[in-house]
């Protein structure tokens, strides 16, 4: 399938990464609040390191699953050309096997597998909870913006989906490519903490914005890699991880329950 940006797909991507998007992402700092509380991020330089590290780990993982989910959604909407062109029924059987369901498939098995494999790549319960909270928020907004039986199928299989899976599915439903879905996931992985840093540390918004823009090159590189793996079986998808981020997520969750914090994660 061509990776060209069609108008509907482009609009969807812009909307999904817009801070105005009513998905509840503003309640999460992606670990920045804890890093700031520990004095690990104090200025634009240390913020840049945080964002770079997050992009290559949590961001790359989100990109992998967003791309895979976009690929899955697109296949469910329109089965691969080879299958459709085949009129003797073999193609349909192949597609049914590939999707784990027959025609009119809701993709239950793929969504459940993506969900479980992302769980396995997210050892921190606090991060799993934050991902599902943001996925659910995004689902509410997505249902009214891009109603689709594919989205209904996803939410029937996983009522509280992980954010990257839901994001990728919405992007795919709206016509965006796996690369674009991955790019959206990567952008959100750093834009959330970046905007949190202006609120938590009072950093200069111009410098913060420059730090995000400085990541453009690795962002497109990681998105391209994620798109290359989008057709793999969920069990074979890559699993980049960030040990310090995982530890800080748990510590933040603990503190959040005991005292007031600005962000849920």
User: Are the CB atoms for 197 and 21 separated by under 8 Å?
Assistant: no
Query: Would you state the structure tokens that stand for residue 252, as one six-digit string?
Result: 């933040």
Shortest distance (Å) from residue 248 CB to another protein: 8
Dist. CA 9–CA 29, nearest whole Å: 27
Among 56, 71, 137, 170, binds another protein (CB under 8 A): 56
Determine contact, residues 113/234, Cβ cutoff 8 Å: yes
Q: Is residue 93 part of the contact set for another protein (CB under 8 A)?
A: no
Give the Cα separation of 107 and 122 in Å (integer): 23
Contacting another protein (CB under 8 A), which of 24, 80, 91, 238?
238
**The two structure tokens encoding residue 120:** 């396995």
Contact flag: residue 49 with another protein (CB under 8 A): yes
| Residue 199 Cβ vs another protein, minimum distance, rounded to whole Å | 18
CA 108, CA 106: separation in Å to the nearest integer? 5
Q: What is the four-CA torsion angle of 14, 249, 212, 162, rounded to 10 degrees?
A: -20
**92 makes contact with another protein (CB under 8 A):** no
Nearest to 14 by CA among 203, 251, 183, 225: 183
- The yes or no reply on residue 251 touching another protein (CB under 8 A) is yes
> Shortest approach of another protein to residue 246 CB, angstroms?
6
Q: How many residues bind another protein (CB under 8 A)?
A: 41
> Contacting another protein (CB under 8 A), which of 13, 16, 58, 186?
58
Does position 14 interact with another protein (CB under 8 A)? The reply is no
Position 190 contacts another protein (CB under 8 A)? no
Residue 75 or 253 having the CB closest to another protein: 253
CA 88 to chain CA centroid, Å, is 38
Binding to another protein by residue 40, rule CB under 8 A?
Answer: yes
| 18 touches another protein by CB under 8 A | no
CB 182 within 8 A of CB 66: yes
Distance from C-alpha of 156 to C-alpha of 252, rounded to nearest angstrom:
31
Closest distance of CB 49 from another protein, Å: 4
116 vs 214, beta carbon nearer another protein: 116
- How far apart are the C-alpha atoms of 192 and 198, rounded to whole Å? 10
Residues engaged in binding another protein (CB under 8 A): 31, 35, 38, 40-41, 46, 49-50, 52-54, 56-58, 116-117, 119-126, 128, 235, 238-248, 250-251, 253-254
């Amino acid at each position: 399938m061509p990776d060209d940006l069609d108008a509907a797909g482009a609009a969807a991507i812009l909307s999904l990464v817009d801070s105005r998007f009513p998905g509840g992402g503003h309640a999460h700092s992606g670990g920045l609040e804890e890093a700031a509380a520990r004095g690990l991020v104090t200025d634009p330089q240390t913020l840049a390191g945080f964002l770079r590290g997050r992009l290559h780990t949590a961001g790359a993982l989100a990109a992998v699953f967003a791309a895979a989910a976009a690929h899955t959604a697109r296949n469910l909407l329109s089965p691969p050309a080879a299958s459709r062109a085949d009129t003797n029924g073999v193609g349909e059987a192949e597609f049914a096997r590939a999707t784990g369901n027959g025609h009119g498939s809701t993709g239950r098995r793929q969504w459940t597998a993506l969900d479980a494999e992302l769980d396995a790549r997210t050892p921190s319960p606090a991060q799993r909870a934050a991902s599902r909270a943001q996925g659910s928020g995004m689902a509410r907004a997505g249902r009214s913006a891009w109603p689709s039986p594919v989205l209904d199928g996803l939410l029937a299989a996983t009522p509280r989906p992980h954010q990257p899976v839901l994001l990728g599915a919405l992007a795919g439903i709206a016509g965006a490519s796996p690369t674009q879905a991955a790019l959206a996931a990567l952008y959100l992985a750093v834009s959330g903490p970046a905007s949190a840093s202006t609120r938590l540390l009072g950093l200069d918004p111009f410098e913060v914005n420059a730090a995000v823009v400085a990541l453009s090159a690795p962002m497109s590189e990681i998105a391209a890699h994620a798109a290359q793996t989008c057709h793999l079986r969920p069990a074979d998808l890559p699993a980049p991880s960030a040990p310090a981020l995982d530890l800080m997520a748990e510590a933040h969750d603990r503190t959040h329950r005991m005292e007031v914090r600005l962000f849920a994660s």
